[in-house]
Structure 1
């Protein structure tokens, strides 16, 4: 009888261990949680959401543009606004009414309008905006809506019980592009500095092609264990996006 109980207990413990390991290693399956003509939102992790808005361009047609929403303890933070104020209003409403989160702030990762085209809507809701000081300067120069709080190299902000960060590694897609990071779920928002696998070089009007690969190599070195990488356009992936971008722009 004792032997039978021992076998049963051993089996139960072993099963529990394997279940825990399987759950820990299980990859989150992306799911669409919101969709209109102006805005699509995909949940890519337990507390991270890719938002997609759209921009009509002369050279590349109707382009989907990514941003990232992270949440923790009924607070949220946004990397890149949607491309216009209407889509931003829709995103703000979804975060506050569906996620039931207070938006702690927004960071445009560079000065192009696929990053800050909807910034006025955030300001209208008294949501703080932060940006690389160079982004602020370029926004002013191009008569765009200007982020209100500047930083030079890096920024860390508390969201709920965790933190998010933004850091400048060097020039690439633009002179001012920064990378966002959500350490508690090991997710990076690379913005337009990072390309999806298979993408072309895209718009290069403000790019520093000579430094692009070097900058992304610094990003890769700083986040060696990043789990999910969200590019400015296209599908999220893993570190392969960093490797692809480095190779794409290497001399």
Structure 2
């Protein structure tokens, strides 16, 4: 009996010792991987990158505008183009020459310039574009670049072996704003529907302010496991951005 007890104790000590020596996986530290006057790219996780370009506006000055790149197995997809063709070409070249990846899709998340201002550059490079059907209709009405492929309420595409989605969950910043999601790393691209912490309400010319909070509540419920949230403008963060946006637009 004593021999059995000693053996069990020895086994327990060995197991604990092995467990203590297993290196813990460090959390990813974001890093800037590209910077020019017109375009910045920050790696936010192992397979996701925030791209930021700039839009000169009358009301808000020079505004930084975000998008998201996700990759898997030498393929990438992009949510929102840079704001113009020049910055879009720089982004395309960086993905091809530095990441050595094929771009399988670009997905504007609504019809404003900060989402599809560089769309023609993608089309010239034979990169297919996808958008919510209302985004295509509004782009046509405003004589903007027109995405090629439409979807009704949701889109699912394979990037390498992983899935990405784009989904319309309700009106807010515009009547066509969709949310992008990369499930394998629980990263959301909220676009202009989601505000950075401390942001004001911003441009409301095409907004449904009354519906905004309810829409973001639906977003929060649809993606309970989200870790990183990239807004259309400003600093990315976690699901606190969803709560901040909900409270910002609540009827008080």
Give the Cα–Cα distance (whole angstroms) in 1 for the partners of residues 207 and 27 of structure 2.
35
Give, in whole Å, the separation in 1 of the partners of 2:157 and 2:211. Answer: 28
| Structure 2 unpaired stretches of 5+ | 1-5
Deviations 1:127-158 (A, max 9, x none): 00000000000000000000000011000001
2:45 matched to which residue of 1? Answer: 45
SS of 2:99's equivalent in the other structure is coil
- Residue 10, structure 1, aligned to residue 19, structure 2: no
> What is the rounded CA distance, in whole Å, between the counterparts of 2:39 and 2:62 in structure 1?
13
Q: Name segments (4+ residues, structure 1) moved above 6 Å.
A: 2-5
Instruction: Write the mapping of 1:64-143 to structure 2, written as runs, cut at 5 A.
Output: 64-143=64-143
**Matched residue, 1:248:** 248
**Corresponding residue of 1:54:** 54
User: For 1:229, what is the secondary structure of its paired residue?
Assistant: strand
Give, in whole Å, the separation in 2 of the partners of 1:191 and 1:79.
Answer: 9
C-alpha deviation, 1:5, in angstroms: 7.4
Separation of aligned partners in 2, 1:6 and 1:206: 67
Q: 1:27: how far off?
A: 2.8
> In structure 1, how many angstroms separate the alpha carbons of the residues matched to 2:15 and 2:135?
59
Aligned match of 1:184: 184
Cα offsets for 1:20-62 (capped at 9, x unmatched):
xx31xx4321100000001000000000000000011111111
Cα RMSD for the two superposed structures: 1.5
Residue 206 of structure 2 corresponds to 206
1:191-237, Cα deviation, whole Å (9 max, x unpaired): 00000011000000000000000000000000011000000001110
Distance 1:7 1:161 in 2: 40
Q: Secondary structure at the match of 1:126?
A: coil
Matched, 1:173 2:173: yes
Instruction: Give how far 1:9 is off.
Output: 2.8
Aligned residues: 245
Larger radius of gyration: 2
Number of the residue aligned with 1:231: 231
Q: Distance in 1 between matches of 2:12 and 2:241?
A: 47
The alignment's TM-score, normalised by the length of structure 1, stands at 0.94
